[in-house]
Chain A
């Protein structure tokens, strides 16, 4: 039976009553990824390519789950992790300059009202290593307010390798803060590789100040928005 998660006690009781969703996540990237530049997101980023998957269904009366505690550890110091619900918003196959639409960001209940969300953070991710010399990637999108046909342009480093990720946010149109939907992607050059755009709703951001140290911010000492996660 579901419990409305509107108090600390209710979250504890629901976890104990319904059984928690707890996962140990482990991922390695064996090949160094490609560093960002000022024209490709500024900040170096990697996407770990094996996302956790949610249960296909919940128990009776349960409409969603929240993630109050996320804990991360890495062998790489001075970095941080972003754990989020990831939406595959679009794919660009460099060969043929072919775009395949993905999903739009979802609606979520915010302050009691179902609202169209925009990405809190969005990355252009190398899904398959590119064969392309400083490709200029043009992204056409609907912004956080619903304005269509805005564009973001990133010039990627030459032949970026798989799992390299480039932050789109610094290259959004002036005044924009997020992306609701991707309507087109294109490149000016290149013969191989695949790019994807992932929009995220952030579940938690966890710092890693030194190698192999774990950090987690719990919701009582560092309150954070807990997006509801649905089945499947």
Chain B
């Protein structure tokens, strides 16, 4: 039974059907590497679990209550940072694959799940999502700044499926901003002119390899913005500001089970994401029958 009124939402919260995530606190003590023009301009931080000086070896996103049988709908988010202008977003990250940056050629190992990711949109079931491609360094690069393209030079063959389902052979180089690009640095992969996102990435050609380096490639789906933070706090009223109480549940892979993380995307001016803390929690309400 859908929420029919705002009063109905508040009633369900009063009935004990509200949910708050654990208050996530992250402290990055190591500066990540800022993006440059050839690496997409925007520095991106994907905020998984890490508290202290060492990031966790296994990524963990925000946790949702287990065993949900009804939708869990977002009503409010709180975010705080101690660094300069950044912008935070609640997002789903769908793991497209892993990338070896230490060898040339097609180095993408695709996740076992089959893309596109789908969900019901505007009443139409199983609609493919347009995802923003993000690359996240899991091993720092050394010696040489890697260069890659969204294609396989052999052929050449298509590297990605665009927002409309077209197979695209990438022509644009993505060059990492430094020979030593730090672990946990994130960047938005560059797409061809006219493309606004991807349904899937099938091949990534590393044309210049580093001596060492590895990354995970995600497709990013925005759930809701968490506001603009100027080294301060911000609260987003999802219900009456966005008018969009999205179901927090992840989309579904075409086949198999996608590796997913509910995470915070933080992006902004290049000096802003060097170091600093982040506090986030989100509140939702269970859609009871």
- Point out residues on A near B: beta carbons under 8 Å: 1-2, 8-9, 11-13, 15-28, 30, 49-53, 55, 57-62, 65, 68-69, 71, 73, 75, 210-216, 218-221
Contacts and interface: CB of A to CB of B under 8 A. Distances in A.
24 contacts: A1-B123, A9-B5, A13-B3, A15-B246, A16-B247, A22-B246, A24-B89, A24-B91, A26-B132, A28-B37, A50-B196, A51-B194, A52-B163, A52-B196, A55-B121, A57-B124, A59-B123, A62-B122, A62-B123, A68-B242, A212-B85, A212-B268, A216-B225, A220-B241
B21 interface: no
Contacts of A15: 243-246
A19 B132 contact: no
B100 to A, nearest CB: 25
B152 interface: no
B99 interface: no
B103 interface: no
Given A16-B245, A55-B121, A71 B225 contact: yes
A28 B245 CA distance: 30
Contacts of A60: 123
Nearest to B227: A214
Nearest to B73: A16
Contact of A21 (B122, B196, B239, B241): B122
A49 B194 CA distance: 5
A214 B228 contact: yes
Contact of A23 (B71, B124, B130): B130
A212 B227 contact: no
A18 B3 contact: no
A50 B195 contact: yes
Contacts of A26: 40, 42, 132, 188, 196
B41 interface: yes
B241 A22 contact: no
B41 A23 contact: no
Contacts of A68: 242-244
Given A9-B5, A215-B228, A25 B196 contact: yes
Interface in B229-266: 230, 239-247
Nearest to A51: B196
Contacts of B124: 55, 57-59, 62
B156 interface: no
A62 B123 CA distance: 7
A1 B240 CA distance: 22
B6 A12 contact: yes
Contact of A212 (B87, B130, B221): B87
B225 A13 contact: no
A19 B122 CA distance: 5
Given A11-B243, A16-B245, A50-B193, A28 B40 contact: yes
Interface string B119-162: 11111110100101000000000000000000000000000000
A17 B122 CA distance: 9
B163 A53 contact: yes
A160 B8 CA distance: 56
B13 interface: no
Contacts of B289: none
A115 to B, nearest CB: 24
B182 interface: no
A213 B267 CA distance: 10
A25 B220 CA distance: 11
A216 B225 CA distance: 10
Contacts of B40: 26, 28
B122 A18 contact: yes
Contacts of A2: 123
Given A59-B125, A213-B85, A214-B227, A12 B244 contact: yes
Nearest to B239: A12
Nearest to A215: B228
A1 B2 CA distance: 12
B212 interface: no
A50 B247 contact: no
Given A24-B89, A24-B220, A12 B196 contact: no
B122 A59 contact: yes
A93 B229 CA distance: 45
A65 B123 CA distance: 10
Contacts of B197: 23-24
A8 B243 contact: yes
Given A22-B222, A23-B196, 4 more contacts: A18-B122, A27-B196, A59-B125, A213-B230
B77 interface: no
A19 B119 CA distance: 8
B196 to A, nearest CB: 5
Contact of B244 (A23, A27, A28, A69): A69
